[in-house]
Amino acid sequence: MMDTELMEVVMGDRPREGAGSDRGLMRAAVFSRYGSAHRLELRDVGRPEPGPGEVLVRVRASSINDWDAGRLAGRPYFTRLFTGLLRPRNRTLGCDVAGTVERVGAHVGRFRPGDAVYGDIHAAGFGAFAEYVCVDQNALEMKPASLTFEEAAAVPHGATLAWQGLASMGVIRPGQSLLINGAGGGVGPIAMQLGKLRGLEVTGVDRADKLPMLRELGFDHVLDYQRHDFTAGASRYDLILDVRTNRSPFRYARALKPNGVYVTVGGASLRLLQVFLCGPLIKMLSGKTTEVLALRANVGLAEMGPLLERGELRPVIDGPYALEDVATAMGTFERAEQKGRMVIAIE
């Protein structure tokens, strides 16, 4: 059993995860201070219990996302107003989950024990880097039967960013050109496949060691960002989907064709703010659209289910890594060395 002080450090102020003495323990990767990957530790913590409208999920796999890295680092700093000023309130990361329903709380009608589920649970409080997590039933969907749990865990957050990013671009016509900046992570491969299904010509931008993977996946063109600045070249694109957002929005607008659309789904906070503030001016001066996507958790996941079931969409997995190795995996993610979505398998 854990002593009272250690339990307080690990569990923070989440009352429904209890002291563990009467609810059993589970393994979880936790952090008690903001920082980098070395802050993550594997510990025994109290196993949660589902409340009304919640289900207890036996986690079979999770994956690492930018939001996990951001919560671990406590950045942007203003987010600490919600996550804890000096130390994190919720000490377990993991916004993508795939697993089986263990128990259901009162008023749960969507699922029953034994159902295989997956989803992006960031709006429900994270917590998937653990053997069990309690989550609102509406944050989950039934897992496509053709996907393994590891494959399913690579889908929700990244795939919905890709789906919503393309959907926000308006009418997409076959033959248009789409550039994906930061194409070798969890968003880019799905966005490319969705683009190809719509008849787009897709260019992927990433570091040199990821380009062979991008070619093999089916990108029409690939660019090494360290050798080619696509915002300074002669090529223009109808659509740009940005995962990195590390340049001025005016440079991105320069890379667009007339009436082109640029949508960012992630990147440096200052750059995101610039895109948000400058978008109306760019639209007025050039007729081009530059905007920041406001992600809605799991929107598009149900629509992608049949595509995943038929194999028309397939996630790209880096790993899987064991829960014991989550700190090592997070370090790789922090250095942007991952190829596809980094998946954590939980036995």
Domain boundary among 277, 292, 307: 292
- Give me the residue label for tokens 């789906």: 163
E strand spans, the chain: 25-30, 41-46, 54-63, 96-104, 116-120, 132-136, 141-142, 177-181, 201-206, 221-224, 237-242, 256-264, 289-292, 317-322, 341-345
Residue 305 lies in a domain: no
Q: Name the pTM for this structure.
A: 0.90
Note whether 134 and 172 are same-domain residues: no
Note whether 237 and 94 are same-domain residues: no
89: three-class secondary structure by DSSP: coil
Note whether 163 and 151 are same-domain residues: no
CATH number at residue 19: 3.90.180.10
Residue 303 lies in a domain: no
Question: For residue 173, what are the domain limits?
Answer: 157-292
Alpha-carbon distances, residue 39 vs 60, 71, 73, 225 (angstroms): 23, 12, 9, 31
pLDDT tens digits, one per residue of 50-89? 999 999 999 999 999 999 999 999 998 888 998 899 999 9
Q: What is the pLDDT of residue 22?
A: 42
Note whether 279 and 188 are same-domain residues: yes
DSSP result, 141-167: EEPPTTS-HHHHHTSHHHHHHHHHHHH
pLDDT tens digits, one per residue of 102-134? 999 999 999 999 999 999 999 988 999 999 999
CATH number at residue 204: 3.40.50.720
The 10 Å CB-count burial string (b at 16+, else e) for 263-272 is bbbbbeeebb
> Is the Cα dihedral 301, 302, 308, 312 positive or negative?
negative
Distance CA 211, CA 182 (A): 11
Note whether 90 and 118 are same-domain residues: yes
Q: Does pLDDT of 6 surpass 60?
A: no
Note whether 128 and 205 are same-domain residues: no
Note whether 206 and 90 are same-domain residues: no
Phi, psi of 244 (to 5 degrees): -100, -45
pLDDT tens digits, one per residue of 29-53? 999 999 999 999 999 999 999 999 9
The count of structural domains within the chain is: 2
Phi, psi of 280 (to 5 degrees): -60, -40
Note whether 151 and 211 are same-domain residues: no
Where residue 185 falls among pLDDT bands split at 50, 70, 90?
Answer: very high
In degrees, rounded to 5, the angle at the alpha carbon of residue 165 between the alpha carbons of residues 61 and 342 is 25
Mean pLDDT calculated for residue range 172-195: 97
Q: What is the pLDDT of residue 7?
A: 32
Residue 147 lies in a domain: yes
Ordered alpha helix ranges (H), 238-300: 249-254, 269-286
Note whether 91 and 202 are same-domain residues: no
Note whether 9 and 149 are same-domain residues: yes
Distance CA 220, CA 257 (A): 18
Note whether 176 and 190 are same-domain residues: yes
Residue 311 lies in a domain: no
Residue 177 lies in a domain: yes
Note whether 79 and 200 are same-domain residues: no
Q: How many CB atoms lie within 10 A of CB 227?
A: 7
